[in-house]
């Protein structure tokens, strides 16, 4: 009976253990973007623009020698209630201006008032303390410009930290 009891307790402990697994970084998956793929004609009447967005995958804590990792949500928003927006490129750069990755290699669309996101997981610290995005986009003439926002957050125990950034048009 004692052996059966010990076997039962060991089984419960084994099943309850959280085995460390290598975590997949979620926003890399190209399938996320293939559903939104659109073919744009080389010559069209759409207005071209380029926007810059600062993102922080890490921030300094206590001193310049200690950093705190953050999760970043990059929000891509179509602010038009009538027109479709086309995003040609979303490129992620690190603190030193080196390109880390481009999220899609084809144009994607956002329907009127639609939003989609890119998530930079907390374990992905490749961007560092001064990472950023550059977006290339096209909109119909007289349509409002898209809005790109960053929401960075982290929670440890009962403490939480969050802040936002907004894009700036650079072309």
Whether residue 132 contacts residue 54, with contact meaning beta carbons closer than 8 Å, is answered with yes
Of residues 34 and 135, more confidence is placed in 135
Average pLDDT over every residue of 120-141: 94
pLDDT in tens, 54-74: 999 998 888 888 888 999 999
Question: pLDDT at position 70, please?
Answer: 92
Tell me 43's DSSP state.
S
pLDDT at position 156 over 50: yes
For tokens 């560092």, the residue is 128
Question: pLDDT at position 155, please?
Answer: 85
Question: pLDDT at position 21, please?
Answer: 47
Say which CATH topology domain 45-169 has: Hypothetical Protein Tm1070; Chain: A (2.60.290)
Of residues 145 and 59, more confidence is placed in 145
């Amino acid at each position: 009976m004692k052996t059966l009891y010990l076997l039962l307790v060991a089984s419960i402990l084994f099943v309850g253990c959280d085995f460390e697994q290598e975590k997949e970084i979620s926003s890399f998956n190209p399938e996320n973007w293939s559903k939104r793929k659109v073919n744009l004609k080389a010559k069209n009447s759409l207005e071209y623009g380029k926007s810059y967005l600062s993102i922080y995958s890490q921030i300094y804590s206590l001193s310049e020698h200690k950093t705190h990792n953050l999760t970043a949500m990059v929000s891509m928003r179509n602010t038009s209630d009538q027109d479709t927006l086309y995003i040609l490129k979303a490129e992620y750069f690190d603190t030193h201006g080196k390109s880390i990755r481009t999220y899609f290699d084809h144009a994607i669309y956002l329907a009127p008032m639609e939003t989609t996101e890119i998530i930079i997981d907390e374990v992905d610290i490749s961007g560092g303390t001064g990472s950023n995005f550059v977006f290339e986009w096209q909109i119909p003439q007289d349509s409002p410009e898209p809005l790109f926002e960053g929401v960075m957050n982290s929670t440890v125990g009962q403490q939480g930290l969050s802040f936002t950034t907004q894009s700036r048009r650079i072309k």
